[in-house]
Structure 1
């Protein structure tokens, strides 16, 4: 899913049929998408860089955390040209319902981590199952790596999130035990 919306109702052709009809029935060209991303935002658009590489992230291949990061406000911040183009083309920061949902989910993740730490217990799948945007957990995980290595990705997200990540680093380690955090 391009926007992490939980309502994947459409199958998008990553490379639009109008651009390359031969990819119409190729499975690796089919992306689950919400109706807005497919029908209103992306449509037949498929931006390329000067060399001819796609500027839109392919959610089935690309790790969005390499190209954009999530601020505690619920807004994405681009880290690469692909991240910027994906955010802009799909209006990921312009759709207030998405931004608000990511913000609420981010706050929910912080509450879950704080509660688990206060109770002295590890976080489990049940703690996270009610959170709408589970990629927020992934974003928090990536951010925690940056904080633990004193490598803040973007100044706009640094102060408040760094404080939260530092406070909950022990809990994050219990959630992601194999990652070397």
Structure 2
């Protein structure tokens, strides 16, 4: 997962969403009412999906796994527990069908104090709660929120481990190639950086740039280290070109 910037919904969209929230209220403010209204809400869905796609990484990647294309509007807090948040803009994220329907579903774990135990990438920096171990490409939870998110979002499922393993190798090679071109003043260096930052599993690149230098020496090849340092100084530590 990577941090994402939520864009403000235009006034027209907010008005439309509020109108549909009123419909849920008038229908009884139940989960059944929310689902029925959401099913009919073609115009609000178009507005919300367009906004979410403008926020998503690369070719509209899933905001949870960062691999598959985001196709579904996910209610971060599910309708089962918050029917009146069905049309709240801040409660929407874009997810792939697998993450939305097979892993997360309607799970929404809470801490004893009632706060949510899932990472919202538009509110939280996932790096505060998760660390990617490059020796295994497994995510490890640094906090209770991180551990719950690994479970609910299925962040360590086998297909994602395989993808992150390949992405790690690719990222190192691309960063090395970018570095050489950068040193030569080759303008194509910028294109290489952009391509890497638009690729699937950009969370691997994000984690690389934030890797502790002492750990980097143990998991990266010697020729990758200076390239990564240059990348940090030029491209920063955020997953944006």
* Pairs within 5 Å for 1:81-96: 81-94=144-157, 96=158
TM-score for both structures, normalised by structure 2: 0.62
1:126 aligned to 2:126? no
The structure carrying a bigger helix percent of its residues is 2
Shift in CA distance, 69/165, structure 1 to aligned 2, threshold 3 Å: farther
State the match for 1:100 in structure 2: 162
Unaligned runs of 5+ in 1: none
Deviations 1:26-46 (A, max 9, x none): 011011011111111111110
Trace 1:29-68 onto structure 2 (pairs within 5 A).
29-68=91-130
Cα distance in 1 for partners of 2:167, 2:80 equals 37
2:144 and 2:101 mapped to 1: Cα distance? 23
Aligned twin of 1:171: 231
C-alpha separation in 2, matches of 1:54 and 1:162: 39
CA distance in 2, matches of 1:174, 1:17: 43
2:207 to 123, 135, 139: 139
Q: 1:9 aligns with which of 71, 80, 84?
A: 71
RMSD: 2.6
Per the TM alignment, residue 177 of structure 1 is displaced from its structure 2 partner at its CA by 8.9
Mapped to 2, the partners of 1:138 and 1:158 lie a distance apart of 17
Point out the more displaced range, 161-170 or 18-27.
161-170
Contact 1:69–1:77 (CA<8 Å) still a contact in 2? yes
Q: Quick one: structure 1 residues 133 and 121, their matched pair in 2 at CA, closer, same or farther if it must change by over 3 Å?
A: farther
- Aligned to 2:131, the other structure's residue is in SS state strand
Gaps of 5+ in 2: 1-62
Pairs aligned (count): 168
